[in-house]
Amino acid sequence: MTPFTFPVRKPLAGIPVSVTDYDEAADCLIAAAKNGRPTLATALAVHGLMTAAQSNWFAHKLRAFDLVCPDGQPVRWGLNWMYKAGLTDRVYGPELMLRLCRAAVENHIPVFLYGSTPKVNQRLAEKLIERFDGLNIAGRLPSRFRQANDTEDAEDRAAIRRSGARIVFVGLGCPLQEEWAYAHRDLPLAHVCVGAAFDFHAGLKPRAPPLMQRAGLEWFFRLACEPRRLWRRYLIYNTAYLRALTTQWLGARRGVST
């Protein structure tokens, strides 16, 4: 694979998703980081995919991304069902972040942490340095939890450039993190949107047991942990995803038969 050849993408619910695995995704991002190539990457579960399917502005931005990894098991299953992709695992954002940190140490690539609260951002940095000996966290900035004005945005850009980072992990939640990455796509580094990974790796939110993750039930675990915040998301988007995938499959069947 040449440094800037990214995996093929196939549409699910009208949104192109990369047919890829952890090794390929990490290799692409490390190659881009080494070469200072502006790169956009995210990992989408059903919520992110259906948010894009129902939002023209978000879908437009995602189509500019180099990597849209199948974060959720249902997204991986969709690729396998519709395209016989043969993917044996998803590309889970929090796990991809850890693999990239390990590769960053091996390749002497500095990283930047952008997003979440000051407490989570600092705790995350401490945990990552503790876990990955030699990891160079060149800089970090918490979220303002509002739109930055022009002056603030210029300051953020300058801080990231000064740091010399080649990978910026963005933890603002979907779709804000993808919008931020898209708006800063001119920066010469790999933008990797990882959402809840900041909270998970900082040790402030529990992760679903591995068995539930493999069974595609992480959504149920998170719903049980935060029912008031998440019940609408999973009720609406999971149902919409099943409907969209079924419609797509039936349409493909009709196309073949005709």
Judge whether 195 and 177 are in contact, CB under 8 Å.
Answer: yes
| Domain spans in the chain, listed from the N-terminal domain onward | 9-210
pLDDT at 257: 41
- In terms of pLDDT, which residue wins out, 76 or 239? 76
Q: With pLDDT > 90 as the criterion, what percentage of the chain qualifies? A: 76
Whole-number Cα distances in Å, 170 to 75, 82, 190? 21, 30, 10
Whether residue 147 is predicted with pLDDT greater than 60 in this model: the reply is yes
Q: What mean pLDDT is predicted for residues 58-68?
A: 96
pTM of the predicted protein model: 0.89
- Check if the beta carbon of residue 62 is closer than 8 Å to that of residue 71: no
Question: What average pLDDT score do residues 183-210 get?
Answer: 90
Give residue-wise pLDDT tens across range 152-187.
999 999 999 999 999 999 999 999 999 999 999 999
**pLDDT over 60 at 87, yes or no:** yes
Q: pLDDT digit string (tens) for 209-253?
A: 777 777 777 766 766 777 777 666 667 788 888 899 999 988 887
